[in-house]
Amino acid sequence: MDSSWDDLTLTFSHTSMFPFFDIAHYLVSVMAMKHQPGAAAIARKNPVSSWLTAMLHCFGGGILSCILLAEPPLKFLTNHTNVLLASSIWYIIFFCPCDLVSQAYSFLPVQLLAAGMKEVTRTWKIVGGVTHANSYYKNGWIVMIAIGWARGAGGTIVTKFEQLVKGDWKPGGDEWLKMSHASKLTMLGSVIFTFQHTEHLAISKHSLMFFYTIFLVTAKITMMMTETSSVTLGPFEDTLSRMLFGWQKQFSWCETKLSSNGTGSSASKPVPDASQNVKKKHNKKTE
Amino acid sequence: MDSSWDDLTLTFSHTSMFPFFDIAHYLVSVMAMKHQPGAAAIARKNPVSSWLTAMLHCFGGGILSCILLAEPPLKFLTNHTNVLLASSIWYIIFFCPCDLVSQAYSFLPVQLLAAGMKEVTRTWKIVGGVTHANSYYKNGWIVMIAIGWARGAGGTIVTKFEQLVKGDWKPGGDEWLKMSHASKLTMLGSVIFTFQHTEHLAISKHSLMFFYTIFLVTAKITMMMTETSSVTLGPFEDTLSRMLFGWQKQFSWCETKLSSNGTGSSASKPVPDASQNVKKKHNKKTE
Amino acid sequence: MDSSWDDLTLTFSHTSMFPFFDIAHYLVSVMAMKHQPGAAAIARKNPVSSWLTAMLHCFGGGILSCILLAEPPLKFLTNHTNVLLASSIWYIIFFCPCDLVSQAYSFLPVQLLAAGMKEVTRTWKIVGGVTHANSYYKNGWIVMIAIGWARGAGGTIVTKFEQLVKGDWKPGGDEWLKMSHASKLTMLGSVIFTFQHTEHLAISKHSLMFFYTIFLVTAKITMMMTETSSVTLGPFEDTLSRMLFGWQKQFSWCETKLSSNGTGSSASKPVPDASQNVKKKHNKKTE
């Protein structure tokens, strides 16, 4: 490509997240926390615990990657500026008189802008995670993918775990299984950036960051405009899963035979707890 | 102050916790564990697990601070003397014939003495935690506060989490929220010692330790004599919370308007799960 | 002993676990996971989560020991060969057409062979854990025992915790208490190898490994042939527990007096939650 284009992507990849993009990230995270039932009431009853929850929402990804790499989970607290920024955003969101911030945030354009900027920070986090993991384990590409994913999408896991411990949320076996659309996109990006970092992708990092960010933002915006989720990856996933896990369908005659006299495989023996799963599976098979 | 006073506080700040104060700490912790329903029965059914629980009760704070600083949580096991001391106290408390120790402990003076000595160890733990965290992060004052607090009061959190995992205890959303009186005092002390350590308080560490210990012990003793809890911090908290989170009350007219037509703020939209919280909040508002 | 015997044990202690013994370990672990209700259905619905669970089953011990020593829990991912090996075994077990692997595994001789080889890996893990812990803490023999035990038998704990978080399993207070027979044997081996490592046992490590492995394998095989569990350690445990915790029985007259007017000991005061425990205890006492 011509150098002007390179300059554009290069300058883009050098934009600092602080303060504006970080503010957008904290805003979206804390608003998501506030829309949980009873969050505002808890904030008045026990501000300390509400503040802790807000910190988990804002810095969850970093905390998870720290845990996975055996770094101090409190490391994010040493970045005083960001902690104070997030805290003040938490404060004005929860304690602003007349709930002005929530009302301002309830306008769609504001939400779109904030969400888009939050997606930009996601790219930066993934790249940071991949590079950081590589500094630990040379060519440990599985670790790089895992850390990039944890940095980018680990916040949801941390907050879910916090809700679980608090007893606000009882997992029904499936909640943990189905990844959200955002975490799928993050996983994809983490794989891409890892391959780029290990020089399996012949594309410069800054242009890759540019394209991936564009992709993330557009996907997010379209998802928010048309209240549909996981439109982008659906067919891709189907193909992949059919390639990897679907080719046994042609042997269904013997699986049905198995499940008829049920020997060997545990999934085909009708265990009470697993009955609905088995049913699901049979429906899948018959479709 | 005159040097004799300085000498007194200095010598006081140099008293070693081992063995007597540690013994008192282990005694109080294990007795608290034994008074949980069924603890004695479990100790006979499965001594190993009961011993593990006792270790968590005795060294919980250290374990939590180790986790938060990404140090080996087993580090406390390398201090063989203390582990053996705590183990023997666990043994005589649970397996002493005729339950002599429990009977001796049931006398109030013994309890007062043990509790007072345990509070002394709390000061030492806070100071140790703050200094230790500072050795990691220079001027990372938020981390210093957190680690000092974890060392001093983290035991309750660890044991609660252990009960949660064991299924002995179902959290009702609030248990984690309301901090115990001891942990509030520990938080206060952690803040004070952190400011002293970062030289924002013009007082020598040993005299600060002296005064804080006196404060802790007297508060604990008075709480035990008069079965009241959190007498000391009540007004202080009220003032603080009114200053920080109460000044929006004057705008209550618009909040009531909000909650009447309920736009924007989630706290005012009556979500079924949050109804009781919202009710609490409204009561608070109407008072 | 004559040198030929030494050579035999020495060569035995130098056999590498990779690939055959590792394969057996992964096979047994993943088959155990597949026999959980609904595992196969989940594998088709959400392969990613099923793969994660399989990894936890295969590398759980290593992960736990990493956590206890504050090493990155993801370290096992850097060993690409073993991860790919385990993943492919997970794949053929769950997605092999006609469930051939499960059917082959359903034959007893195959199970016996695989289980025996898995027990061999256990010895290697314990020795590795003890040596590794010693490299951290010189003469920290408690830590060495703990890490050796975690490496050898920690997988069950990790997987239980994973089920707990997933909500597949509600602990009834006792599940965590009663150690499995395998973990008891692992604890014994960890103690033995720690004493050998600290030169309290006058036996060479390789012959000790030989004898312990023989003991493990024979115990496992006999347990699988005769569907009895914990035959080997029963009397040993009884003697030990009677020595340590049973000698208070002779003072039962005062304990009964205590439980009659119930002062001091909490176990004798009939708390509703603890009633069944207390009942158990009384039965025990009366037996």
Look-up of token digits 């056999």: C15
Average pLDDT value for residue range B225-244: 76
Average pLDDT value for residue range B167-175: 63
Q: Do B41 and C280 touch (CB under 8 A)?
A: yes
The DSSP result for chain C, as a single string, is --HHHHHHHHHHHT---TTHHHHHHHHHHHHHHHTSTTHHHHHHH-HHHHHHHHHHHHHHHHHHHHHHTT--GGGGGG-HHHHHHHHHHHHHHHH-GGGHHHHHHTSHHHHHHHHHHHHHHHHHHHHHHHHHHHHHSTT-HHHHHHHHHHHHHHHHHHHHHHHHHHTS----SSTTTS--HHHHHHHHHHHHHHHHHTT-S-S-HHHHHHHHHHHHHHHHHHHHHS---S-SSHHHHHHHHHHHHSGGGGGHHHHHHHHHH--S-STTS--TTTHHHHHHHHHHHH-
Verify cis geometry, omega within 30 degrees of 0, for the bond prior to B19: yes
Chain C residue with Cα closest to A274: C38
Neighbors of chain B by Cβ distance (3+ pairs < 8 Å): A, C
Neighbors of chain C by Cβ distance (3+ pairs < 8 Å): A, B
Answer whether A35 touches B (CB < 8 Å): yes
Does C51 or B232 have the greater pLDDT score?
C51
* Distance of alpha carbon B258 from alpha carbon B169, whole angstroms: 38
Q: Closest approach of chain B CAs to the CA of A67, in angstroms? A: 8
Q: Closest approach of chain A CAs to the CA of C136, in angstroms? A: 16
Answer whether A68 touches C (CB < 8 Å): yes
Residue among B47, B103, B167 minimizing CB distance to C264: B103
Q: Do B44 and C245 touch (CB under 8 A)?
A: yes
Average pLDDT value for residue range C110-127: 94
Evaluate if residue B54 carries a pLDDT over 90: yes
B234 within 8 A of B184, measured Cβ to Cβ: no
- Give the residue ranges of chain A where pLDDT is below 50: 257-287
Return left, alpha or beta for B48; rule: phi > 0 is left, psi -120 to 50 is alpha, else beta: alpha
Residues of chain C positioned with their CB less than 8 A from the CB of A241:
47
Check residue C174 and give its pLDDT.
58
Model confidence over C198-245: pLDDT tens digits? 988 889 999 999 999 999 999 888 888 887 765 567 777 788 888 887
Model confidence over B173-191: pLDDT tens digits? 555 666 778 888 899 999 9
Predicted ipTM?
A: 0.80
Does C192 or C273 have the greater pLDDT score?
C192
Residue among B38, B43, B66 minimizing CB distance to C273: B38
Query: In chain B, what percentage of residues exceed pLDDT 90?
Result: 39
Q: Given pLDDT bands bounded at 50, 70 and 90, which one contains residue C275? A: very low
Q: Do B274 and A38 touch (CB under 8 A)?
A: yes
Model confidence over C143-182: pLDDT tens digits? 999 999 999 988 888 888 888 777 776 665 555 666 778 8
The tally of CA atoms less than 13 A away on the side-chain side of residue A116 is 13
Model confidence over C240-262: pLDDT tens digits? 888 887 776 666 556 554 444 44
Q: Given pLDDT bands bounded at 50, 70 and 90, which one contains residue C265? A: very low
Q: Closest approach of chain C CAs to the CA of B7, in angstroms? A: 38
Task: Please identify among residues 252-271 of chain C the ones whose CB lies closer than 8 Å to any CB of chain B.
Answer: 254-255, 258, 263-268, 271
**Mean pLDDT, chain C, integer:** 81
Residue among A36, A77, A105 minimizing CB distance to B142: A77
Residues of chain C positioned with their CB less than 8 A from the CB of A170:
167
Check residue C181 and give its pLDDT.
81
Q: Which of B141, B157, B175, B176 to mutate to test the interface with A (most CBs of A within 10 A)?
A: B176
Average pLDDT value for residue range B112-116: 93
C106 within 8 A of A263, measured Cβ to Cβ: yes
Check residue A272 and give its pLDDT.
40
Q: Do A44 and B281 touch (CB under 8 A)?
A: yes
Contacts 24+ apart (CB under 8 A), B274-282: B274/A37, B274/A38, B274/A39, B274/A41, B277/A37, B277/A38, B277/A41, B277/A42, B277/A45, B278/A38, B278/A41, B280/A41, B280/A45, B281/A40, B281/A41, B281/A44, B281/A45
B76 within 8 A of B70, measured Cβ to Cβ: no
* Distance of alpha carbon A56 from alpha carbon A74, whole angstroms: 11
Check residue B115 and give its pLDDT.
93
Residue among C70, C263, C274 minimizing CB distance to B71: C70
Average pLDDT value for residue range C100-112: 89
Chain A residue with Cα closest to B266: A35
The whole-angstrom distance between residue A144's C-alpha and the CA centroid of its chain comes to 16
Answer whether B48 touches C (CB < 8 Å): yes
Q: Which of C69, C135, C142 to mutate to test the interface with B (most CBs of B within 10 A)?
A: C142
Residue among A38, A44, A98 minimizing CB distance to B254: A98
Evaluate if residue C87 carries a pLDDT over 90: yes
Residue among C143, C251, C255 minimizing CB distance to B74: C143
Task: Please identify among residues 94-123 of chain C the ones whose CB lies closer than 8 Å to any CB of chain B.
Answer: none
Between the alpha carbon of residue A92 and those of residues A99, A172, B31, B248, the distances in Å are 9, 35, 45, 11
Does B90 or B269 have the greater pLDDT score?
B90
Chain A residue with Cα closest to B160: A165
Of A20, A231, A54, A227, give the one whose Cα is nearest residue A155: A54
Of C189, C192, C199, C247, give the one whose Cα is nearest residue C219: C189
Evaluate if residue B171 carries a pLDDT over 90: no
Q: Do C98 and A171 touch (CB under 8 A)?
A: no
Residues of chain B positioned with their CB less than 8 A from the CB of C147:
74
Task: Please identify among residues 211-230 of chain B the ones whose CB lies closer than 8 Å to any CB of chain A.
Answer: none
Average pLDDT value for residue range B110-118: 93
Q: Do A140 and C166 touch (CB under 8 A)?
A: no
Least confident of A243-257, B49-63, C46-60, C183-197: A243-257
Check residue C269 and give its pLDDT.
38
Q: Given pLDDT bands bounded at 50, 70 and 90, which one contains residue C277? A: very low
Q: Which of A162, A190, A261, A265 to mutate to test the interface with C (most CBs of C within 10 A)?
A: A265
Q: Do A136 and C103 touch (CB under 8 A)?
A: no
Evaluate if residue B270 carries a pLDDT over 70: no
Sign of CA dihedral B256, B262, B266, B268: positive
Q: Do A46 and B177 touch (CB under 8 A)?
A: yes
